[in-house]
């Protein structure tokens, strides 16, 4: 009988090879759901506590100076947002609403925080997805190249490039990219998701390129794609710089393994060694760091979004934080925690696919 | 190990090329797609300060610009002249001699954008709602009672004599809503409206006014789109579409440098104006003052509450040098009233530096090398980094023997600290919410709310200052009131805890093809409906 690991995706487990009881994958997922719920609860406690201990009062941040001089206006604001209640009562009220899927209303926008997130997440997703795909392709390729060219000029060049990329502040790179591609060359728009002559396409996914194509509004989709180009270029560059270092280091480690030497010694062509052995073995740490990079992209890149006028989660988080908008801050924190949890779960599942020696447990 | 991974290299190169091509394949989209000179869209670039488009709650700059275009008010200001309100929904008005009763005659034939006739009931409802929902702008109408005498006559009674009621009723927050639609979506005007009114979300995404534009879309992080109201009663705007677009100020500058047509920018001011092409138009007025506040409470600071120290710090500062930090459109500090408004101190009364006098005053105060914590918000406001100005103040003070310890704070922390009244010395910009300078009396005169944040009670103040403030509010003639304001400021400069460093301009930068892109200190920055093409 072929030996397969329990729970390995794609593995055909037999009753003879696996003890009775729930499938290990189900057990694994159940545990992760429980951990996620605990984690999210912890996030609400910590965020709620932090926002309430930092200096600053939501009333001061949200009312005009004139209104602050009017006790009735201040009292009305406190009452409306429950700020006149004890902290514990505010927290319990929030948790109660959360159990019903209600994240509360933003003091800034007046809208449900969930609606706000559903509005801003697709915009960030539209930036993060192409950035991540491009970064993965370029980062993995260039990282492998550097590894196999270890110590040579190509490797030095890649290392210097990666170091430069990691040392470059995102806002600075954004401004440089804007200056070159928008101002000097006139090749791309300066900011926003669409030119002002266009209206957004009917909402399906919230991503204008996709929705434009779905609606057959190709001019809108093309315009949206143009507006994506510069922020995607910046985010891709920054993510590539991070990935290259990890890929190179992971691949170098694998290249030292005996089975790689043996493969070369057997006379296998380089492309076969790279694809069958090096890539597969070296991808595990790469997947880990890629997951974190993607989660970081999804949780918002505040400065890049600000400079390119991109209405995503990052800008929403920034506005909420500066206005001490507690419901919105809690909502964004929960979203970020959820993103990291889901990405980690995906990474764990991918481990099994990439390297069957890794068990889910 | 000798390998030659050509395919790997080729693949990586291809991907890198693809990334670059994804950029270079883009056509010159310009900034707003209106670079062909024939577009009907006016693009307004601004760093959004926007929370709502509900007229009863709006007080942020971007919201005021939009609401002014979406709604009409009883009166308004024309262009950049904020000295005298002109008719809008009210074709005329009469004020009682004691400035307590104002009777407005409504214009006939005005309809809301949905075709419903606008009546006195709508005016009464809108003003009562503004007052009772107790949002940020409610305080401007808190002392007013609004009634109608017939379908086209509205009477506004002020609890105290106030010749500036017509100015208040020109503000976007006093916009007249279609009361029927507003009520259907949760708007309330009763005494319990602060709790009962639920219309904000609807009014953020739908306009129910009679203004030159209607709201097409609203995104507080990205853009607000206005479209011309086909049923507008007044002069039709030349642009059928206006897009207010959220943009970082550095990006605004780059964008305007490439803009060819129908585009304006609202946040390029101060040093940022340097290097703009001469083909662009600029319009601005000095409507912001930047001032220090010293705490007059000895319990907070024995140093800053010392009147001699107060005067020493005034004498130590290089006002000309500070104005130079602000760039074009700035001037050395004079009084608390910015030059844009009636009642400002005339040219020639700017504060002047005298380091020798500062040192002598410190000696008289019995203070040797006094040290004071200097708190300010770590922000850039209208193109000016407050930290740079604070550092200059620190250097000037040091030359006179005063040590200032810089204490930059995040904005919300600063506001909280300022409100708590515990800062010995602070620094903040100030713009008026509506163009009536004597509203400063209600905030900054001894014993008033803002003054108390600096520990400045009536007991600690010079009686002459208190009397001068009372004289301002007792003067019902506007010209006389402006003169009284000037006298009040001179006395304030002699002993108040406020030290005006500089005044600075707000600027509208516009492409050369536009007309009417004038900055106004009325609150709405620019009247987008008045902007046309040459």
What H or E segment, with its residue span, contains residue B404? strand B403-409
Task: Report d(CA A4, CA A38) in Å as an integer.
Answer: 33
Task: Identify any residues that bridge with B499 across adjacent strands, giving them in sequence order.
Answer: B292
* pLDDT surpasses 80 at A18: no
* pLDDT surpasses 60 at B88: yes
DSSP result, A115-175: HHHHHHHHHHHHHHHHHHHHHHHHHHHHHHHHHHTTTSHHHHHHHHHHHHHHHS-HHHHHH
Mean pLDDT over B255-284 rounds to 91
Task: Answer yes or no: do A148 and B8 touch at CB < 8 A.
Answer: yes
Mean pLDDT over B341-370 rounds to 93
Q: Which of B29, B410, B523, B528 to mutate to test the interface with A (most CBs of A within 10 A)?
A: B29
Residue B87 pLDDT class (50, 70, 90 cuts) = very high
- For the ranges B28-37, B177-186, B478-487, the maximum mean pLDDT occurs at B177-186
Q: What is the pLDDT of residue A194?
A: 92
- Which residues are CB-contacts of B343 (< 8 A; sequence separation ≥ 6)? B337, B437, B438, B481, B482, B483, B485, B486, B489
Q: In this structure, are residues A350 and A136 in contact, taking their beta carbons and an 8 Å threshold?
A: no
Mean pLDDT over A333-348 rounds to 86
For residue range A257-268, list pLDDT tens digits in order.
788 788 878 888
* Chain B residues with beta carbon closer than 8 angstroms to that of A278: none
* pLDDT surpasses 90 at B499: yes
Mean pLDDT over B9-29 rounds to 40
Mean pLDDT over B22-32 rounds to 39
Mean pLDDT over the full length of chain A: 83
Size of interface A-B (CB pairs under 8 A): 237
Q: What is the pLDDT of residue B6?
A: 44
* pLDDT surpasses 80 at B1: no
Share of chain B above pLDDT 90, in %: 72
Q: What is the pLDDT of residue A15?
A: 44
Is residue B5 within 8 angstroms of chain A, CB to CB? yes
Q: What is the pLDDT of residue B39?
A: 53
Q: What is the pLDDT of residue A360?
A: 53
Q: Specify the range with the lowest mean pLDDT, choosing from B28-42, B245-259, B380-394, B477-491.
A: B28-42
From A138, A229, A274, residue closest to B22, measured CB to CB: A229
Task: Answer yes or no: do B23 and A145 touch at CB < 8 A.
Answer: no
Q: Specify the range with the lowest mean pLDDT, choosing from A106-110, A120-124, B482-486.
A: A106-110
Residue A352: exposure state from Cβ atoms within 10 A (0-12, 13-18, ≥19): buried
Q: In this structure, are residues A60 and B412 in contact, taking their beta carbons and an 8 Å threshold?
A: yes
Q: What is the pLDDT of residue B155?
A: 98
Task: Report d(CA A59, CA A73) in Å as an integer.
Answer: 10
Looking at CA atoms only, how far is residue B116 from chain A in angstroms? 28
Share of chain B above pLDDT 70, in %: 93
Task: Report d(CA A314, CA A299) in Å as an integer.
Answer: 7
Is residue A274 within 8 angstroms of chain B, CB to CB? yes
Task: Answer yes or no: do B410 and A189 touch at CB < 8 A.
Answer: no
Share of chain A above pLDDT 90, in %: 27
Is residue A205 within 8 angstroms of chain B, CB to CB? no
**How many CB atoms neighbour CB B299 within 10 A?**
9
Task: Report d(CA B331, CA B349) in Å as an integer.
Answer: 11
* pLDDT surpasses 70 at B7: no
Task: Report d(CA B171, CA B522) in Å as an integer.
Answer: 8
């Amino acid at each position: 009988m072929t030996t397969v690991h329990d729970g390995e995706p794609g593995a055909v487990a037999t009753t003879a090879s696996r003890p009775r009881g729930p499938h290990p994958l189900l057990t694994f997922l159940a545990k992760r759901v429980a951990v996620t719920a605990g984690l999210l609860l912890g996030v609400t406690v910590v965020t709620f506590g932090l926002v309430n201990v930092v200096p600053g009062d939501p009333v001061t941040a949200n009312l005009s100076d004139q209104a602050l001089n009017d006790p009735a206006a201040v009292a009305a604001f406190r009452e409306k947002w429950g700020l006149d209640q004890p902290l514990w009562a505010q927290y319990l009220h929030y948790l109660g609403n959360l159990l019903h899927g209600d994240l509360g209303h933003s003091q800034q926008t007046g809208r449900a925080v969930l609606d706000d997130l559903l509005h801003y997440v697709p915009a960030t997703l539209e930036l993060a997805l192409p950035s991540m795909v491009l970064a993965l392709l370029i980062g993995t390729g260039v990282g492998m190249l550097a590894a196999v060219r270890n110590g040579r000029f190509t490797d030095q060049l890649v290392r210097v490039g990666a170091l430069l990329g990691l040392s470059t502040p995102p806002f600075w790179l954004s401004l440089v990219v804007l200056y070159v591609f928008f101002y000097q060359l006139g090749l791309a728009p300066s900011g926003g998701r669409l030119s002002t002559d266009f209206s957004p396409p009917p909402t399906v996914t919230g991503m204008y390129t996709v929705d434009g194509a779905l609606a057959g509004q190709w001019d809108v989709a093309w315009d949206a794609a143009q507006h994506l180009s510069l922020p995607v270029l910046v985010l891709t560059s920054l993510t590539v710089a991070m990935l290259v270092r990890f890929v190179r280091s992971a691949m170098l480690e694998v290249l030292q393994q005996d089975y790689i030497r043996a493969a070369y010694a057997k006379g296998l062509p380089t492309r076969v060694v790279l694809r069958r052995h090096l890539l597969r073995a070296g991808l595990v740490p790469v997947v880990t760091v890629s997951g974190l990079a993607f989660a970081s992209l999804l949780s918002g890149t505040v400065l890049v979004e600000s400079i390119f006028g991109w209405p995503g989660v990052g800008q929403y988080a920034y506005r909420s934080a500066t206005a001490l908008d507690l419901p919105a801050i809690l909502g964004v924190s929960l979203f970020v925690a959820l993103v990291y949890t889901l990405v980690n779960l995906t990474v764990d599942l991918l481990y099994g696919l990439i390297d069957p020696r890794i068990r889910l447990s | 190990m000798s390998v030659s991974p050509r395919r790997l290299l080729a693949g990586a190169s291809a991907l890198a090329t693809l990334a670059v091509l994804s950029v270079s394949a883009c056509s010159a989209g310009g900034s707003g797609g209106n670079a062909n000179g024939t577009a009907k869209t006016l693009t307004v670039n601004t760093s959004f300060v926007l929370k709502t488009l509900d007229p009863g709650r709006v007080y942020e700059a971007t919201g005021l610009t939009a609401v002014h275009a979406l709604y009409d008010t009883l009166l308004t200001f024309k262009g950049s002249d904020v000295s005298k309100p002109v008719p809008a929904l009210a074709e005329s008005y009469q004020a009682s001699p004691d400035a307590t009763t104002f009777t407005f005659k409504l214009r006939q034939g005005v309809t809301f954008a949905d075709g419903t006739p606008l009546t006195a009931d709508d005016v009464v409802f809108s003003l009562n709602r503004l007052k009772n929902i107790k949002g940020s702008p409610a305080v401007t109408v808190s002392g007013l009672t609004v009634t109608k005498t017939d379908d086209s006559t509205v009477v506004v009674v002020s609890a105290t004599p106030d010749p500036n009621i017509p100015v208040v009723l020109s503000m976007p927050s006093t916009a007249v809503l279609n009361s029927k639609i507003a009520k259907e979506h949760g708007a309330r005007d009763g005494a319990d409206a602060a709790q009962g009114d639920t219309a904000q979300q609807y009014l953020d995404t739908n306009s129910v006014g009679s203004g030159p534009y209607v709201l097409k879309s609203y995104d507080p992080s990205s853009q607000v789109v206005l479209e011309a109201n086909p049923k507008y009663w007044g002069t039709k705007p030349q642009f059928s579409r206006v897009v207010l677009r959220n943009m970082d100020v550095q990006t605004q500058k780059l964008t305007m440098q490439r803009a060819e047509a129908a585009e304006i920018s609202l946040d390029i001011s101060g040093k940022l104006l340097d290097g703009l092409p001469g083909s662009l138009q600029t319009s601005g007025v000095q409507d912001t003052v930047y001032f220090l506040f010293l705490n007059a409470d000895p319990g907070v600071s024995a140093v800053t509450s010392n009147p001699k120290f107060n005067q020493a710090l005034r004498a130590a500062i290089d006002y000309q040098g500070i104005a130079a930090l602000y760039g074009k459109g700035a001037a050395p500090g004079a009084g608390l009233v910015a030059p844009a408004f009636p009642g400002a101190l005339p040219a020639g009364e700017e504060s002047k530096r005298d380091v020798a006098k500062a040192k002598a005053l410190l000696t008289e105060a019995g203070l040797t090398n006094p040290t004071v914590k200097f708190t300010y918000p770590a922000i850039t406001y209208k193109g000016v980094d407050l930290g740079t100005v604070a550092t200059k103040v620190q250097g000037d003070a040091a030359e006179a023997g005063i040590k200032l310890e810089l204490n930059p704070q995040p904005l919300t922390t600063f506001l909280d600290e300022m409100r708590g009244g515990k800062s010995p010395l602070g620094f903040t910009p100030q713009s008026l919410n509506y163009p009536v300078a004597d509203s400063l009396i209600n905030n900054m005169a001894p014993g008033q709310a803002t003054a108390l944040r600096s520990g400045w009670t009536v007991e600690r103040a010079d009686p002459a200052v208190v009397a001068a403030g009372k004289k301002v509010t007792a003067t019902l003639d506007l010209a006389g009131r402006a003169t009284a304001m000037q006298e009040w400021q001179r006395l304030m400069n002699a002993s108040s805890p406020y030290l005006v460093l500089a005044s600075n301009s707000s600027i509208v930068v516009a492409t050369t093809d536009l007309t009417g892109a004038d900055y106004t200190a009325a609150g709405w920055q620019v009247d987008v409906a008045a902007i046309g093409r040459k």
